[in-house]
Structure formats: C-alpha cells, structure tokens
Amino acid sequence: MLEQIKSDFPVELYRYIPQVGKTQPAVLRFRLPKWRHYDEIFWQALGDYVILALRSVKDIKFNGQAAKLKIEYFATKKRRKSPEEITEIVKGLACLIDSESLSTDFTHFRRMAERRGSLGEMKKEQAALFGVALQMATSVAV
C-alpha cells in the first residue's frame, strides 16, 4: 500500500545517527510541518503504523507543537532499511493518516508509553533479581 503512494507530502529527515552494533539504535528525527498542532491521536496512530512497518522500533517520541518525530530503530540483518526508505515509509503513512485512508484507532504506541518504567522495560538482571525476591517472599509466607 505504501509503495503505491507517490506524494509530495512534506516529511523531512533532519537528523540521522547510525546504529552502533547491537547496543545503540539508529536515531532518526523528522519534521512534519503540515502536522503542526495536530491532535495527539494522529501522532499516536503514526507511531503505531511506524512500529508495524519497521517492526524493530525501540522507541518513538513526538512533539505535536513542533511537528517533530523521533524514532529509535534497530536494523536487523533481515530488515535493514536505509534512512531514505524509512523517510518514504513515514511520508506514506503520514499521507494515508492525513487523508483518513488509515484508521487512527490503534494501541501499540500507547502500550509502549505505558510500559516505560515497568517490568517490561527492566534489564534481564533486574528482572531476575525481582523474580528471586518474589519467589523468596512467597516461600517465606508459606
């Protein structure tokens, strides 16, 4: 669907920091001037569709007032995309959402935001310690 869109929708990649091994994701920062002051629902929908399109997104942040989008993305061997390809994906998705061709009713992005600071975001060592503490607490209570 995205490949069929040939649009001059204004999406500008203004900063790109390449991925460093498997430790630091690539960071892409975009400006969407047409989306300045758009409602948060549109931005969340864009985040949802970017997550679905790229699959290995670590985090997405947006600023609706400044019309900026920041994507942290891990490229894998099977899913290696250039910054230009990602720009075209964001451009196509923004155009489809703007024209109401895509629904704005998704929840992936919202769940990602809710997960910050929770068990889902803990490091393996922290989660293991937490699990041991819970196991010890339940065995002492019995």
Mean pLDDT, consecutive 10-residue segments, the chain of 142 residues? 64 91 91 91 89 88 93 83 88 86 67 54 57 60 50
Beta bridge partners of 71: 28, 60
Judge contact between 60 and 109, C-beta under 8 A. yes
Quick one: pLDDT at residue 139?
Answer: 59
pTM of the model: 0.70
Quick one: pLDDT at residue 128?
Answer: 63
Q: What is the pLDDT of residues 2-20, one digit of tens each?
A: 555 656 778 899 999 999 8
DSSP symbols for 36-63: TT--HHHHHHHHHHHHHHHS-EEEEEEE
* Tokens matching residue 140: 């002492």
Closest CA to 51 of 110, 122, 123, 119: 110
* Tokens matching residue 47: 């985040």
- How far apart are alpha carbons 54 and 90 in whole angstroms? 10
For residue 102, give the amino acid letter. Answer: L
Which distant-in-sequence residues (6+ apart) come within 8 Å of 55 by Cβ? 79
Mean pLDDT over all residues of the chain?
Answer: 78
Quick one: pLDDT at residue 10?
Answer: 87
The CATH architecture annotation of domain 2-106 reads 2-Layer Sandwich (3.30)
Quick one: pLDDT at residue 72?
Answer: 93
In the sheet that holds 68-73, the strands lie side by side as 12-17, 26-31, 68-73, 57-63
